[in-house]
Amino acid sequence: MPPSPDLRYPIGQPTLPASPLSAPERATFIQQIAELPVQLNTVAREIGGVRLLEPYRPGGWTGRQVIHHLADSHINSYTRFRLALTEERPTVRPYDEHAWAELPDIEATPITVSLTLLEALHIRWTVLLHHLTEAQWQHTFYHPGNDRDYTLDQALALYAWHGQHHLAHLTGLRDQNA
C-alpha cells in the first residue's frame, strides 16, 4: 500500500475483507503479526529513548504512547479472538484508548516492558492463529462501539493493519529530522 500524505494514517485506512480470506492471505497477515515485535524493537532502538517522548505528528501520541498502546490493544484483540472461539457471538468491551494512553503507567513504565509483553503475546497469538480451522475463522464477535460484527478473518486483517499502521507512525518519527 503506498504511503498516505495523512500523517494520522500513513498506510491508509484499514480495509476489511467482505468474504473469507484465502490461506495465502491469512498467512501474510499472520506473518505480519508474528514479525511486529522484532520490527518494533528495532525501530524503538533506532529512535532512541529521548526521541520516543516526541509525538509522531503534531497533536499525536508520543512514540512511547504508541508502543504502550500496541500492547494494550493487542492484548484486547487476543482476548477477543479467544472469546469468539469459546462463546457464541460474544459482545466485546470497547475501551477509551486515548484515556488509556494518558494513564500514569504509560510515563512510569519503560517501553521494554511493553515490547517484551508484545513479543510473548504475539508468540501465543500466532500459535493460536496457525491452529484455527476454516470454520473457526468465521466465528464472530460483536463490537458495540462500532455497532458491528467481525469475523476472525476480519479481525486478523484489522490487527495486521493496526500493527503496520503504528509501526509506520514510529518509522515516521525515526525519520523526522534524520
pLDDT, one tens digit per residue, over 109-137 is 999 999 999 999 999 999 999 999 999 99
Predicted confidence at residue 160, as pLDDT, reads 98
Q: Which of 173, 170, 136 lies closest to 156, judged by CA?
A: 136
Cell numbers placing 86 = 469459546
Q: Which of 137, 162, 132 lies closest to 36, judged by CA?
A: 162
The DSSP call for residue 49 is T
Q: At what angle do helices 23-47 and 152-175 cross, to 10 degrees?
A: 30
pLDDT tens digits for range 67-107? 999 999 999 999 999 999 999 999 999 999 999 999 999 99
SS3 call for 51? helix
Cell numbers placing 90 = 460474544
| Alpha carbons 100 and 98: distance in angstroms, whole number | 5
- Name the residue ranges covered by the structural domains of the chain: 34-175
Where does the pLDDT of residue 177 fall: very low under 50, low under 70, confident under 90, or very high at 90 and above? confident
Q: Alpha-carbon torsion 68, 69, 70, 72, what sign? A: positive
Domain 34-175 has CATH 1.20.120.450: yes
